[in-house]
Structure 1
Amino acid sequence: MSYLGIDLGTSGLRALLLAEDGSVLGSAEHSCTSQHKHPGWSEQDPAEWIAALEGAVAALRDAHPEFADLRAVGVAGHMHGATLLDSNGDVIRPCILWNDTRADAEARHLDALPGIRDISGNIVFPGFTAPKLLWVREHEPENFARIAKVLLPAAYMNYYLTGDYVADMSDSAGTSWLDVSRRTWSEELLIAGQMSDSQMPRLVEGCQPAGTLRADLASRWGLRNSVTVAGGAGDNAAAACGLGALNEGDGFISLGTSGVLLAARDGYHPDPASALHTFCHAVPDRWYQMGVMLSATDSLNWLGQITGQKPADLTRALGDELRAPGRVQFYPYLSGERTPHNDANIRGGFTGLGKDTDQSDLTCAVLEGVVYGLSDSYDALVQTGARIDRLIGIGGGTKSRYWVKLIATVLNVPIELPQDGEFGAALGAARLGQIAETGASPEDILTPPSIGERVLPDSSKTADYEAAKAQFKAAYGPLRQISSRG
């Protein structure tokens, strides 16, 4: 038996084939492109997702005879995207993606309505799905009138696989239409967003069956058995499943283009004012909360561009020993910020520059600024009562041991780095498929990876970084004033 995990990302699709014992048989990737017709717009043609899926399946089928014994599929997808279908199930217009900001005014309108945050557990961000539909209603009324169903990207993939309109709780929690506490569509939120329950997909938990693979696909793919399609998950929930971040005390920190700090929660503890995201997990009776900053390794990449250096060379030049915080500070708001500021207009900058400032000072400041930004999310999580015993570190930025040691010290939490191997959203999706097909306990399947290194805080520098972090936080007000003039 084998299990297929699909990770539909913004830049491409990755498919991962697992054996029954959880070992990796193979993987395949296909790229996708986005269109940006106007500033702030970001769209994709769902036909590209299907082409990428079929290409990945063909590669796995040709390379691995075990593919013919496929028993389950799970899909993880980038959240919040609005895929609009007509009464025939055909796509009406390109999907409006998570990083599309055109619906800022609609988001502010929804967020100001009484009770919206209380039910959804979250601020209504411009990237969420509900404000996108209000934008379509206002600016494309002919398209809005044709809408029979609205599907998130992962739910659209489920539709292609099963022929049924079905979505999971973790992904649906990012729409501003879901009652995140009760794990059901909210009539009040749908009315506020000018939508109806009939336009929503059926809801299932991520580890439950969503349906069965269409017979024509099973035949074309050369499969021997009936194949279960799991509910699946939003990308971060699936990543948590791949890392075994399931229970209170578990979490991960991701240093990618953006930065994510995620904590699994045994209960529902929203705090919308902090700009934390509070979403359903991909398994029943669990939730997760996360803080998101928009420019994590993107900040280091930016410094590399303006200095003509590779980011890895910038961090390597710092050596292995953690330095005390410097005079120079960097504010990593190159593209605005989400947690905790929810401010699309704020921009970053350096302070404390002098004639003696050199490249290593700038590098340290960028790394420190990103970590201070992530510490805002950490502080917000702790204020909700989250217990964070450890964090698994993932993403390209964790290749810098200096940066990892800095994170551990500022957050005062051990950072565990997985051994080389497979983890992440595609693995989590495949595991969800396995649970859906076998009925296994999530605790038995969603296990953490083998840890290659455990990085501890440097207690000798904790107090110095606490003081520097306080100085960093004090500058937000002046930065916002400067940004508003630009």
Structure 2
Amino acid sequence: MYLGIDCGTQGTKVVILDAEQGHICGEGYAPHALISDANGRREQAPQWWIDAFEQAYRQALAQAGIDSQAIRGIGVSGQQHGLVVLDASGAVIRPAKLWCDTETAPQNAELLALLGGEEGSRARLGLTLATGYTLSKLLWLKQHEPETFGRIAHILLPHDYINYWLTGEIAAEYGDASGTGYFDIRSRRWVPEVLALIAPDGQLERALPPLREAHQAVGFVRPELAARLGLGSQVRVSSGGGDNMMGAIGTGNMSAGIVTLSLGTSGTLYAFSDQTPGQEGSGLLAPFCSSSNGWLPLICTMNLTSAANAVRELFGLNLDDFNRAAAKAPIGCEGITLLPFFNGERVPALPNASGSLLGLNMQNLTPANLCRGVLEGTSFGLRYGLDLMRDAGIEVRQIRLIGGGAKSALWRQMIADIMQAPVICPRIGEAAALGAAIQAIWCDGHAKGLSVSLESLCERYVVLDEDSGLNPDPESVLAYEAAYARYRQSLSARHGL
């Protein structure tokens, strides 16, 4: 038995994977609160993650009906880019600033200029700094909370922190480290001279965790914690990784032509590559390292189900009624275009943008058009990102859909038509948690000297739901192309893109 943990923005999921039978035998979930304000602040207390994990773990254990002593390994997936700072005693200093925190946009712009713009950033790091990456959060802390900044002894990402809590070991791995802004994705090394732009005295360099390769375990669960959780004395904790990296494993995204699309709080698109990224292509395409010792070119949009839920709640609709309303409206929403940048936006790079509802008249102002409009607007943002991936030479033969939005047949067909590619869902929708459990098996095998490939494990444990598969409808493709062209014209007119 192997445990997979996914610490996301809205909550923590836990799955128990029966490695011998090849299926999930127990699942649990607990939500997180969110600290937010109109300035773009988005924070969480790391203790909330721990409390949620323990609650979800006990749910999963009860559902599985197994002896917890049978659990042999744990893998952790975490929301990327979050900043967890510890003092010299290993205590958390302040709430973690999250990936969706946009009040650090001025600091990101300042650092990008110091690096020499996009060209300088890509030369130094292999990618372009973006608002939401960890680096700008550090500068924000120095400028706004200097006393807190002065106490920093360790800098961790969310999944690193959970690994630390589990094992007592401080470490990081290449995939999640890719999104910090102070890591070179080509050489797979920290770049301390970038941190020196913030702290020339070397304070931040000294606070960096040692790096591990994806197949290397972090350590064993601490004895006192193992006793509290009912675990054995030798439960190995894998390297883990960011939620997108674990989602790639959990969807079997291990070869060219497969693209994973997550319809979650945010929208993410990523593909596998075994080639060291070059300097060509858009700076908005983040060529992160994967957590499988390859690379994971990735696009992230900040507004997806969060935007859809905002519109749904505006009309007081439950999820089924929302989907029925959206299905009643025609493609293109009778001329309405929604730019759903309610939390700013990362792709396209508009961190300070607000949402825009365009093309309204007395004939098309209906709940159905607005419900469909938010689905189309968020999907067009993902199409914008997929176009960047295709422009970079990334093949798209099949899109594997995960996240809460993938449960909607309407949205799945919309994605197939807008992206002009077949879509399908894995049977296990909790891809990041499953990926973490699969990676735990991989790391455990490596530590025991066994010859096991991650690809073979994915072939065994990742099963696609053939009933969910959909192909693009030619007539709908043409209608969406017209609506997408209007979306792009609106982007150009309002934001110069």
By the TM > 0.5 criterion, same fold? yes
1:238-277 CA distance string (max 9 Å, x none): 1111111122212222222322222222224366844222
Residue 454 (structure 2) pairs with residue 442 (structure 1): yes
Matches within 5 A, 1:264-413: 264-269=272-277, 273-284=282-293, 286-317=294-325, 323=331, 326-351=334-359, 353-355=361-363, 357-413=365-421
Residue 437 (structure 2) pairs with residue 430 (structure 1): yes
Relative to structure 1, is the Cα distance of residues 314 and 175 closer, same or farther in structure 2, using a 3 angstrom cutoff? same
Relative to structure 1, is the Cα distance of residues 34 and 279 closer, same or farther in structure 2, using a 3 angstrom cutoff? same
**Mind listing any 5+ residue stretches in structure 1 that lack a counterpart?**
482-486
Partner of 1:55: 55
1:197-222 CA distance string (max 9 Å, x none): 32111111333211222222233333
**C-alpha separation between the residues in 1 aligned to 2:166 and 2:407?**
37
Instruction: Please report how far the alpha carbon of residue 66 of structure 1 lies from its aligned counterpart in structure 2 after TM superposition.
Output: 3.5
**C-alpha separation between the residues in 1 aligned to 2:234 and 2:398?**
40
Report if the CA contact (8 A) 1:73-1:227 is conserved.
Answer: yes
Calculate the aligned-residue CA RMSD, in Å: 2.5
Task: Name the aligned partner's letter for residue 143 of structure 2.
Answer: E
**C-alpha separation between the residues in 1 aligned to 2:420 and 2:370?**
24
Residue 75 (structure 2) pairs with residue 74 (structure 1): yes
Task: Name the aligned partner's letter for residue 473 of structure 1.
Answer: R
Instruction: Please report how far the alpha carbon of residue 353 of structure 1 lies from its aligned counterpart in structure 2 after TM superposition.
Output: 2.9
- How many residue pairs end up in the alignment? 478
Relative to structure 1, is the Cα distance of residues 330 and 222 closer, same or farther in structure 2, using a 3 angstrom cutoff? closer
Instruction: Please report how far the alpha carbon of residue 416 of structure 1 lies from its aligned counterpart in structure 2 after TM superposition.
Output: 0.8
**C-alpha separation between the residues in 1 aligned to 2:376 and 2:310?**
15
Partner of 1:26: 26
Report if the CA contact (8 A) 2:36-2:42 is conserved.
Answer: yes
Structure 2 length normalisation: TM-score?
A: 0.89
Partner of 1:139: 144
Q: Structure 1 stretch 435-444 or stretch 393-402: which is displaced more? A: 393-402
Partner of 1:4: 3
**The one of 463, 474, 486 aligned to 2:489:** 474
**C-alpha separation between the residues in 1 aligned to 2:153 and 2:372?**
52
Q: Structure 1 stretch 410-419 or stretch 361-370: which is displaced more? A: 361-370
Residue 46 (structure 2) pairs with residue 46 (structure 1): yes
Residue 178 (structure 2) pairs with residue 173 (structure 1): yes
**C-alpha separation between the residues in 1 aligned to 2:2 and 2:210?**
23
Structure 1 length normalisation: TM-score?
A: 0.90
**C-alpha separation between the residues in 2 aligned to 1:303 and 1:54?**
33
Task: Name the aligned partner's letter for residue 240 of structure 2.
Answer: G
**C-alpha separation between the residues in 1 aligned to 2:393 and 2:478?**
23
Instruction: Please report how far the alpha carbon of residue 304 of structure 1 lies from its aligned counterpart in structure 2 after TM superposition.
Output: 2.6
**The one of 254, 262, 266 aligned to 2:270:** 262
Partner of 1:150: 155
Relative to structure 1, is the Cα distance of residues 48 and 105 closer, same or farther in structure 2, using a 3 angstrom cutoff? same
**C-alpha separation between the residues in 2 aligned to 1:208 and 1:233?**
12
Instruction: Please report how far the alpha carbon of residue 231 of structure 1 lies from its aligned counterpart in structure 2 after TM superposition.
Output: 0.6
Instruction: Please report how far the alpha carbon of residue 317 of structure 1 lies from its aligned counterpart in structure 2 after TM superposition.
Output: 4.3
1:437 counterpart SS class: helix
Residue 253 (structure 2) pairs with residue 253 (structure 1): no
Instruction: Please report how far the alpha carbon of residue 60 of structure 1 lies from its aligned counterpart in structure 2 after TM superposition.
Output: 4.7
Instruction: Please report how far the alpha carbon of residue 47 of structure 1 lies from its aligned counterpart in structure 2 after TM superposition.
Output: 2.2
Instruction: Please report how far the alpha carbon of residue 311 of structure 1 lies from its aligned counterpart in structure 2 after TM superposition.
Output: 4.5
Report if the CA contact (8 A) 2:327-2:368 is conserved.
Answer: no
**C-alpha separation between the residues in 2 aligned to 1:346 and 1:358?**
22
Instruction: Please report how far the alpha carbon of residue 61 of structure 1 lies from its aligned counterpart in structure 2 after TM superposition.
Output: 5.1
1:119-161 CA distance string (max 9 Å, x none): 3233322321111111112222222222111011111111112
Partner of 1:484: none
Relative to structure 1, is the Cα distance of residues 406 and 432 closer, same or farther in structure 2, using a 3 angstrom cutoff? same
**C-alpha separation between the residues in 1 aligned to 2:60 and 2:317?**
38
Instruction: Please report how far the alpha carbon of residue 293 of structure 1 lies from its aligned counterpart in structure 2 after TM superposition.
Output: 2.1
**C-alpha separation between the residues in 1 aligned to 2:281 and 2:195?**
19
Relative to structure 1, is the Cα distance of residues 322 and 274 closer, same or farther in structure 2, using a 3 angstrom cutoff? farther
Task: Name the aligned partner's letter for residue 107 of structure 1.
Answer: N
**C-alpha separation between the residues in 2 aligned to 1:158 and 1:256?**
24
